[in-house]
Amino acid sequence: MSPSAQALYTQLAKALGVATIPADARGIVQLDVGDEGRVVLVPEDAYTLMPMSPVAKLPATLDQGTLLWLMRRNFHDSPLAPFRIGCDSAGSLVVWGRLPIDDMSGEQLAGLLDALAAEAALIREEIATDESAEDETEAAAE
């Protein structure tokens, strides 16, 4: 792990009020944020940190409005910036971004992690389907 990433993790630990931020040999960190949030920090090099938050499995079907809502978040003027929505090779939606390590404080990073986890929770809520409502509709039709 680069000295710049280590210094940022030290500042983040202080901002979060913990002794240390546990990182593996490559500097990858997995943090629980809030009740259901998880954020993974990956130092790509000495200058760039890639935070990501898993959202959910990509639903088998998405209505056009939900798909449009998701895709609009990848535009340059999105309220989600500097983060983007993507899909990993396992078919899971993730919210991710690339951030410069230089001039970032631990407090700033802590705020970004909260925002990232909150956005992942919002997306989970937006793409969720209420299967019980579908069951009630089918039962009423019979």
Indicate whether 53 pLDDT > 50: yes
Proportion of the chain above pLDDT 90, given as a percent: 39
pLDDT, average across residues 128-142: 48
pLDDT, average across residues 27-44: 90
pTM, entire model: 0.79
pLDDT score for 64: 83
pLDDT, average across residues 135-140: 46
Token look-up 């396992």 returns 90
Indicate whether 133 pLDDT > 50: no
All structural domains of the chain: 3-128 (3.30.1460.10)
